[in-house]
Amino acid sequence: MRAKLPDSHGFVTRDGVKLAYEVYGDGAETMLFVPPWSIVHSRIYKAQLPYFSERFCCIAYDGRGNGKSDQPEEVAAYTLDNYVADALAVMDALDVRQAILVGLSFGGLVASILAAHHSERVRAAIVAGTVSTIGPAHHARLAPSHFAASHDRYEGWDKFNRNYWLDDYPDFAEFFVRKICSEPHSTKQIEDGIGWAAQTTGPTLIRTVEARSIPPEFDISVDMYRKTRCPVLFIHGDDDQIQPCERAKAAQAETPGSEFASVKRGGHNPLGRYPAKANTLINDFLERRLGVAAPSRPTLPRAAREKRVLYLSSPIGLGHGRRDIAITHELRKLNPGIQVDWLAQDPVTRLLEAGNERVHPSSPRLASETRHIELESGEHELHCFQALRRMDEVLIKNFMIFQDAVEQGAYDLVIADEAWDIDHYWHEHPELKKAKLAWLTDFVGYVPMPPGGEHEAMLTADYNAEMIEHIERHPGVRDRAIFVGTADDIVPLSFGANLPLMRDWVPRHFDFSGYIIGEHPKTFGGRKQLRERQGYRDDEHVCIVSVGGSGIGAHLIRRILQAYPIVKAKLPELRMVVVAGPRIDPASLGAPAGVDLRAFVADLDRHLAACDLALVQGGLTTCMELAAAGTPFIYFPLRNHFEQNFHVAHRLRRYGAGVQLDFAASTPAVIADAMVLALSSPQRPQPVEADGASKAALMIGELL
H or E element at residue 488? none
CATH number of the domain that residue 72 is part of: 3.40.50.1820
* pLDDT of 304: 60
* pLDDT of 167: 97
CATH number of the domain that residue 660 is part of: 3.40.50.2000
Query: Is there a domain that residue 302 lies in?
Result: no
* Phi, psi (rounded to 5 degrees) for 683: -80, 160
Domain count, the chain: 4
* pLDDT of 409: 87
Query: Is there a domain that residue 687 lies in?
Result: no
* pLDDT of 602: 75
Query: Is there a domain that residue 189 lies in?
Result: yes
* Phi, psi (rounded to 5 degrees) for 312: -115, 120
CA distances from 115 to 49, 82, 83 (A): 21, 16, 14
Residue ending a domain, choose from 179, 208, 237: 208
* pLDDT of 549: 65
pTM of the full predicted structure? 0.94
**pLDDT averages per 10-residue partition of the chain, 704 residues:** 96 98 97 98 98 97 98 98 98 98 98 98 98 85 83 93 97 98 98 98 98 95 97 97 96 97 97 98 96 65 77 83 93 94 91 92 93 89 95 97 93 96 97 97 97 97 98 97 97 97 98 94 91 93 86 89 96 94 82 89 89 95 94 96 97 96 97 95 89 97 96
Residue ending a domain, choose from 188, 208, 228: 208
Residues 414 and 532 grouped into a single domain: no
Residues 379 and 336 grouped into a single domain: yes
- Helical H segments across 154-230, by residue range: 162-180, 187-197, 202-210, 222-226
The 3-state secondary structure of 357-408, one letter per residue: CEECCCHHHCCCHHHHHHHHCECCECCHHHHHHCCHHHHHHHHHHHHHHHHH
* pLDDT of 685: 92
Residues 488 and 542 grouped into a single domain: no
CATH number of the domain that residue 426 is part of: 3.40.50
* pLDDT of 374: 85
Parallel, antiparallel, or unpaired for β 57-61 and 30-34? Answer: parallel
Residues 49 and 73 grouped into a single domain: yes
Residues 223 and 96 grouped into a single domain: yes
* pLDDT of 550: 67
Residues 89 and 229 grouped into a single domain: yes
Residues 448 and 512 grouped into a single domain: yes
Residues 476 and 567 grouped into a single domain: no
Range of the domain at 254: 8-139+218-290
Residues 96 and 115 grouped into a single domain: yes
- Report which of 292, 83, 63, 86 is spatially closest to residue 199, judged by C-alpha positions: 63
